[in-house]
């Protein structure tokens, strides 16, 4: 596979951009090799600068559930751009997008749009602290809620990938207010509440973590979080940046029937353009400026192009049968890959919830950060490159999720299963 142009671009990029990338996990550091410089994408595929086309399961880390360059989204952006690109003033589109979000998430009585998941999580934490008058928050080891200071404590995603779960630059005075518990271990949460009575503003959790790889909640775990927080007057914050509109139209809270106090959204709700959001209980959200005293703002919040793309995306996703169709594709791929992994040489453990999955290169089970970290990341790297040489683009990190889109055809899925069969049988690639 010729990647000479990506290699040249990467050399140029490294001279002017730290690490040559604008987000660390794109750098292929944990799997080795040169990151693909993508030139274009359509449907289920991305094409790199050298003209190599791949079946894409990175899906821009989740947003591209409808596939790339979906015609409805492209035309919505084009029409919006012809009316101007930013006003710094309220628009009718923001009301429409808020309506679509509220329709999917009944727990969201009011919602504020921002420009990234990080911004949404940071704002939700400040709001929880302002509303409760408490400083401490609880997060879970291996969960990732963006890179705002309070979140970079035992964080997942790129922070975990590069072994920097606690980043330099986060003052100890900030980090001390972030308490960490073990996902799927309610006793570790109760212990923190016993030791910090009346001091915990919020528990923030990915209801189905994707940032230590996919780790489903054990039955009852999320219900226990809801009971512990309600008893303590602490806000339960679901970070559904990945799971929102992914595992169901109404996200993980629809799947598990839990009503959080606040929900964080991102990725899919922007149709691939920069949109984040946080919302929830009216009494909590009304503590936000200008209604209330908790300040939060953003020049490009509710940007008309991003809002138009988000409306087009969520309108498509709201159509009947969408999630059944996605589940059929995901089940077909999941069962196909499982069949191969069962026969393949090395140990693997796969966690999958609907169209998001991770295959961990280890015996398993993988139920939390500590067990996820036992994975053989070198083996994952070999698998990643074996699949890449066969035209299948997986997440360049063991600690991320793969995503099936509505654009993947049965033929694409068969090709993917066939590639995995070859890689795990150790056969050389035909490329
Ligand atoms: P952004 O600021 O990257 O839009 O969103 C932060 C965020 C918040 N919450 C969850 C559950 C998330 O997964 C993310 C971002 N996800 C990572 C990959 N899992 C983004 C990829 C990257 O950092 O380049």
Ligand 1 center from residue 117 Cα (angstroms): 6
Residue 430 lies in a domain: no
| Residue showing tokens 């559930």 | 65
**Looking at residue 214, which CATH number applies to its domain?**
3.40.640.10
Q: Whose CA is nearest to atom 21 of ligand 1?
A: 61
> At 166, is the pLDDT very low, low, confident or very high (cuts 50, 70, 90)?
confident
Nearest residue by C-alpha to atom 7 in ligand 1: 146
Q: Which of 136, 139, 154, 267 is catalytic?
A: 267
Predicted local distance difference test score (pLDDT) of residue 167: 87
Give me the helices (H) in 82-178, please. Answer: 92-104, 117-132, 157-161, 172-175
Do 195 and 143 belong together in one domain? yes
Q: Say yes or no: 230 and 199 in one domain.
A: yes
Question: Do residues 38 and 109 both lie within one domain?
Answer: no
Band (pLDDT 50/70/90 cuts) for residue 239 is very high
Kindly state the percentage of the chain with pLDDT values over 70: 98
Residue 267 annotated to the active site: yes
pLDDT value at residue 347: 93
Give the chain's domain count. 2
Query: For 384-406, what is each residue's pLDDT tens digit?
Result: 999 999 999 999 999 999 999 99
- Using pLDDT thresholds of 50, 70 and 90, give the confidence band for residue 130: very high
Task: CATH number of the domain at 9, please.
Answer: 3.90.1150.10
**What pLDDT score was predicted for residue 162?**
72
Q: Which residues contact 42 (CB under 8 A, 6 or more apart)?
A: 67, 68, 69
Q: Which residues line ligand 1 (CB under 6 A)?
A: 23, 25, 61, 116-118, 121, 144-146, 157-158, 206, 210-211, 239, 241-242, 266, 276, 400
Indicate the pLDDT class of residue 110, thresholds 50, 70 and 90. Answer: very high
Residue recorded with tokens 């705002």: 148
Q: Is 42 a catalytic residue?
A: no
Which pair of structure tokens corresponds to residue 186?
Answer: 């309610």
Asked whether residue 39 carries a pLDDT value surpassing 90, the answer given is yes
291 and 175 in one domain? Answer: yes
pLDDT confidence band for 163 (50 / 70 / 90): low
The answer to whether residues 54 and 174 belong to one domain is no
Of 298, 317, 336, the residue that ends a domain is 317
pLDDT digit string, tens, across residues 345-385: 689 999 999 999 999 999 999 999 999 999 999 999 999 99
Model-level pTM greater than 0.75? Answer: yes
Residues 44 and 175 in one domain: no
Tell me which of 267, 372, 395 to substitute to probe ligand 1's pocket, judged by most ligand atoms within 8 Å of the beta carbon.
Answer: 267
Domain assignment present for 431 = no
Q: Report the pLDDT value the prediction gives residue 159, as an integer from 0 to 100.
A: 76
Quick one: average pLDDT of 244-249? 98
Same domain? For 156 and 269 the reply is yes
Minimum mean pLDDT among 48-52, 157-161, 334-338: which range? 157-161
Domain boundary among 317, 339, 368: 317
pLDDT value for 29: 95
> Does one domain contain both 204 and 281?
yes
**Residue 416 confidence (pLDDT) above 70:** yes
Distances (CA, A) of 243 to 226, 239, 240, 417: 18, 8, 5, 24
- What residue's CA is closest to ligand 1, atom 8? 145
Span 7-30, mean pLDDT?
Answer: 97
The residue from 299, 317, 335 where one domain ends is: 317
Residues 307 and 259 in one domain: yes
> The tokens of 293 are what?
């005293």
Question: Does the pLDDT of residue 428 top 80, yes or no?
Answer: no
Q: Does residue 205 share a domain with residue 147?
A: yes
89 inside domain: yes
Q: Is residue 288 part of a domain?
A: yes
CA of 206 to the centre of ligand 1 (A): 11
- Output the CA 120–ligand 1 centroid distance in Å: 11
Residue whose C-alpha is closest to residue 97's, from 266, 287, 328, 283: 266
Residue 431's pLDDT is 52
**pLDDT at 344 (0 to 100):** 82
- Beta pairing, strands 200-205 & 136-140: parallel
Using only the alpha carbons of the chain, give its radius of gyration: 21
Catalytic residue from among 48, 56, 185, 239: 239
Supply the mean pLDDT for the chain: 96
72 is an active site residue: no
Query: Do residues 307 and 338 both lie within one domain?
Result: no
Taking only the tens place, the pLDDT of each residue in 303-314 is 999 999 999 999
**Nearest residue to 145 (alpha-carbon basis) of 19, 254, 242, 251:** 242
Nearest CA to ligand 1 atom 20: 61
Å from CA of 71 to ligand 1 middle? 25
pLDDT over 90, % of the chain: 93
For residue 156, pLDDT beyond 90: no
| Cα of 292 from ligand 1 centre, angstroms | 28
The mean pLDDT value for 93-101 works out to 98
Identify the domain containing residue 169 by its residue range. 71-317
Report yes or no: 143 and 209 within 8 Å, Cβ to Cβ. Answer: yes
- pLDDT bucket at 430, cuts 50 / 70 / 90: low
Residues 16 and 133 in one domain: no
Which residue's CA is minimally distant from atom 13 of ligand 1?
242
Over the stretch 64-80, which tens digit does the pLDDT of each residue have? 999 999 999 999 999 99
Of 48, 57, 136, 144, the active-site residue reads 144
Ligand 1 atom showing the smallest separation from residue 211 Cα: 19
The pLDDT of 13-27, averaged and rounded, is 97
Calculate how far, in angstroms, residue 241's C-alpha sits from the geometric centre of ligand 1: 7
């Amino acid at each position: 596979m010729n990647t000479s142009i990506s290699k040249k671009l990467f050399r140029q990029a490294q001279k002017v951009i730290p690490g040559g990338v604008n987000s660390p996990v794109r750098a292929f550091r944990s799997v080795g090799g040169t990151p693909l410089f993508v030139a274009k994408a359509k449907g289920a595929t991305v094409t790199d600068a050298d003209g190599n086309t791949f079946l894409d399961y990175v899906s821009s880390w989740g947003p591209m559930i409808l596939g790339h360059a979906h015609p409805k989204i492209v035309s919505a952006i084009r029409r919006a751009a012809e009316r101007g690109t930013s006003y710094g003033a309220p628009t009718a589109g923001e009301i429409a997008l808020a309506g679509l979000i509220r329709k999917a998430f009944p727990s969201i009585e009011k919602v504020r749009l921002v420009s990234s998941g990080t911004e949404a999580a940071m704002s939700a934490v400040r709001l929880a602290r302002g509303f409760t008058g408490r400083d401490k928050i609880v997060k879970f080891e291996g969960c990732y809620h963006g890179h705002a200071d309070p979140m970079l404590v035992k964080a997942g995603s790129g922070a975990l990938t590069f072994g920097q779960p606690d980043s330099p630059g986060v003052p100890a005075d900030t980090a001390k207010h972030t308490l960490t518990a073990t996902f799927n271990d309610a006793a570790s949460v109760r212990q923190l509440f016993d030791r910090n009575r009346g001091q915990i503003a919020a528990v923030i959790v990915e209801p189905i973590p994707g940032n230590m790889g996919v780790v489903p909640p054990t039955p009852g775990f999320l219900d226990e979080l809801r009971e512990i927080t309600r008893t303590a007057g602490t806000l339960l914050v679901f970070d559904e940046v990945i799971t929102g509109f992914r595992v169901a139209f109404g996200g993980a809270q629809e799947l598990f029937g839990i009503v959080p106090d606040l929900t964080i959204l991102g990725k899919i709700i922007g149709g691939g353009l920069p949109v984040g959001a946080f919302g929830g209980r009216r009494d909590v959200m009304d503590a936000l400026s200008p209604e209330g005293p908790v300040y939060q703002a953003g020049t490009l919040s509710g940007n008309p192009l991003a809002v138009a793309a988000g409306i087009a995306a969520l309108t498509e996703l709201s159509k009947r049968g969408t999630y059944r169709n996605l589940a059929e594709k995901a089940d077909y791929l999941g069962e196909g890959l499982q069949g191969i992994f069962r026969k393949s040489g090395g140990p693997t453990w796969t966690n999958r919830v609907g169209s998001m999955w991770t295959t961990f290169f280890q015996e398993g089970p993988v139920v939390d950060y500590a067990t996820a970290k036992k994975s053989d990341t070198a083996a994952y790297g070999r698998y990643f490159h074996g699949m890449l040489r066969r035209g299948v683009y997986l997440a360049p990190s063991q600690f991320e999720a793969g995503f099936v889109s509505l654009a993947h055809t049965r033929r694409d899925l068969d090709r993917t299963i066939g590639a995995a069969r070859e890689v795990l049988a150790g056969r050389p690639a035909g490329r």
